[in-house]
Structure 1
């Protein structure tokens, strides 16, 4: 008798296994059979659910984007001021669930692969637009629009840069130090851009 919930659970297990394999390898140079083995399913079943490896990688990237988006929306719903909105976005990006080594490594691998894959590049553009928009929603209430745009872009670039440095094992060692650094730059940006009295 077919189990109606088996497919979503197996798909999720394969996505989690893909993240773990990419994180361990530090690249997308993993096989479907390796991912399937980690998920405890056959390679044939992995191909049945996703077809080619690229489809599994795209599903994995979409999963990461969905998880990040869900976390950001929840944090923004609790932010009571524009400044708190900026801090909420920063905090989520360096949270325990998002700044895990395997997630950081997966993001770096996807950035590298996006040089060759138009579909991954599109997904990364979605991520970049969302990050910029979420940061801008706080900055635009605190600064004139041109400075708000620049501030959001600078903080987004800093977040991405800290992920890259962390993936290369050359970055800040933990979430708290990353958040502190980004918050310091946010404060400097706000102070520098405010008109003097």
Structure 2
């Protein structure tokens, strides 16, 4: 039996196992038994660290959201603050590349999106993620557009990210990050042309 008392090792191990099992059998069929077997631990370990399946699902969602947030922040840190369109592209890229584009993560996102409609805590986490995305976008767009239009275009970009991501997630070929960038930048360019502040 594995030793209890190693949360820094056990928790990531169990989150990874959760995503693997969700990817294989779906969220509803992802039982404590299957997850513990995948992780190579006893079911008691899950109860010990998370208080059961629901707590483990919440932690899995938090990990996915933390990874996304860290990716966005790290990418923005590398781009000068006055390069607003490049920074918008960095936000877009974070949603379509790297960790977020891994097969198990994509399937976990899909499962949580459907489950969050019926679960208050998961819905809250999803709302936090949505507000964070819109906040990042508005910060950059305010430098390029009047306030009202910046908020509207941020909503448009967020909707395109979600829609393109969902279509890609359901496509056997996966998510095409280059195509996502092309579509979203086409929308952004048109909005900047129509609403953009005069230069000079």
TM superposition score normalised by structure 1: 0.90
Q: Which runs of 5 or more structure 2 residues have no equivalent in the other structure?
A: none
Q: Tell me, yes or no, if the aligned pair for 1:19 and 1:106 is still in contact at 8 Å.
A: yes
Q: Which residue of 2 aligns with 1:35?
A: 35
RMSD: 2.3
Partners of 1:99 and 1:83 lie apart in 2 by 22
Post-superposition offset of 1:195 = 5.8
Q: Which residue of 1 aligns with 2:195?
A: 193
Q: Which residue of 1 aligns with 2:76?
A: 76
Q: Tell me, yes or no, if the aligned pair for 2:138 and 2:150 is still in contact at 8 Å.
A: yes
TM superposition score normalised by structure 2: 0.89
Q: Which residue of 2 aligns with 1:59?
A: 59
Determine if the alignment matches structure 1 residue 7 to structure 2 residue 2: no
Post-superposition offset of 1:174 = 2.4
Q: Which runs of 5 or more structure 1 residues have no equivalent in the other structure?
A: none
Post-superposition offset of 1:183 = 2.3
Q: Which moved more, 1:42-51 or 1:145-154?
A: 42-51
1:98 match: secondary structure: helix
Q: Which moved more, 1:64-73 or 1:2-11?
A: 2-11
Partners of 1:163 and 1:3 lie apart in 2 by 40
Equivalent positions of 1:110-125 (< 5 A) are 110-125=112-127
- The count of aligned residue pairs is 196
Partners of 1:159 and 1:132 lie apart in 2 by 11
Partners of 1:35 and 1:165 lie apart in 2 by 28
Q: Which moved more, 1:120-129 or 1:177-186?
A: 177-186
Q: Tell me, yes or no, if the aligned pair for 1:108 and 1:163 is still in contact at 8 Å.
A: no
Equivalent positions of 1:139-154 (< 5 A) are 139-154=141-156
String of CA shifts for 1:105-155, please: whole Å, max 9, x gaps. 211211111111101111001000000001111111100011100111111
1:8 match: secondary structure: helix
Q: Which moved more, 1:74-83 or 1:133-142?
A: 74-83
Partners of 1:182 and 1:23 lie apart in 2 by 28
Partners of 2:176 and 2:164 lie apart in 1 by 11
